Amino acid sequence: METINKNKLFLASCLALIVTAMTFAIRAGILGQLGNDFQLSDTELGWVNSMAFLGFPIATIFGGLVYNSVGPRKLMVIAFVSHLIGLVLTIFAGGFWTLLISTFFIGFANGSVEAACNPLIAEMYTDNRTTMLNKFHVWFPGGIVIGALISKFMTDFDMGWQLQIGVMLIPTLLYGILFFGQTFPKSENIVSDTKVNIKSLLSPLFIFMVVCMTLTATTELGTQQWVEKILGNSGASPMLILAMVTGLMAVGRYFAGPIIHKLNPPGVLLMSSIIATIAIYMMSTATGGMVYVAAILFAIGVCYFWPTMIGFVSEYVPNTGALGMSLIGGAGMFATSIWQPVIGSWLDNAKATALESGVALEQAELLAGQETLSNIAFFPLALILLFGILFTQRKKLEANRV
């Protein structure tokens, strides 16, 4: 591995994840513009959102299955090309169906990044996988901060959504250049026998974690993707909330090592689910300045969910290899894709009910957002029970940890 530049590969991986996050943040920031320009309901916007979350698991399933044979380099080529196609098609979208197709390509690109980079980092940093995966995943919330601030700035200056999408072509080209010509490591520190990987997916612990991942991902991403619609009339700036939340998440993930070593992954996951439940309930009742307080708690609650779940699978169910890490992320995104149109319909229905009762439009949208958050709070509430069970088994789990 003397000729492998770990730092450059890690930097390129982080930049690719920033693009992934920016697609998420800027899409959240322009939902209102897309709805107005193309006369789309919240339910239809939910279907557009769902394509990003559906393309992701399809890519991770594909990437996980072929990782051992094609390696991370070819998967990153697929990610790069898919990002370019998706972004350009979005810029020239003419309505609902073209938005669906272009958003699917972006989701597929995002999933390819995860399918390639998670096992690549686990391979390069085998002695501290969960810590380094948390440092890699710093750049998902970090990229959302960048995307949210760009979107707010450009929207405030009446720059159209097409230009906001176009900005993402710059970091896409940069990560493509950084990966080009690099030597990638061979799979020596993760189990690279695909038959063994597939057989290990039947582990009760892996299946249990897949179920949990569907809830952790929806708690985090289901709330954030709809921040502009849910909090638009709460008296707080939705995109500043998104930037603040994800900024705090980035800091938390960067310093994750000591917390994970102190509490161990099951303890971190249980603590996170408790805080997330309290935070989302607070957000469902808060207005004005209290929304920011609730949002800070939300950031602490969801901060460690995604990378710790992937790190958990890598360390506690190691025989699943790259496939296990890809599928756990895919399960989270697939669940989020299913819930996107449901969340959109919650907003539509609650808003219609409020308008029928005679309240003003802005008040109706506020009430709809609060009711939707109340529904989302049931996801982390269920996780308290599930991660509580996992926590009671932590000593037995440690015996098989890699």
The predicted-structure confidence for 54-95, as pLDDT tens digits, reads as follows 899 999 999 989 998 899 999 999 999 999 999 999 999 988
For 12, 74, 319, 320, the CA distances from 174, given in Å and listed in that order, are 8, 17, 34, 32
pLDDT given at position 1:
45
Mean pLDDT over the full length of the chain: 90
Q: Helix 129-136 vs helix 305-316: angle between axes, to the nearest 10 degrees?
A: 150
CA–chain centroid gap for 212, Å, is: 15
pLDDT at 286: 86
Q: Residue 134: its pLDDT value, please?
A: 83
**Which residues, including other chains, have CB under 8 Å from residue 278's CB and lie 6 or more apart?**
297, 301
Model confidence, pTM: 0.81
Regions in the chain scoring below 50 on pLDDT = 1
DSSP label at 95? S
pLDDT of 144: 87
Query: Is residue 273 a contact partner of residue 185, using CB atoms and an 8 Å limit?
Result: no
CA nearest neighbour of 347 among 34, 32, 52, 21: 32
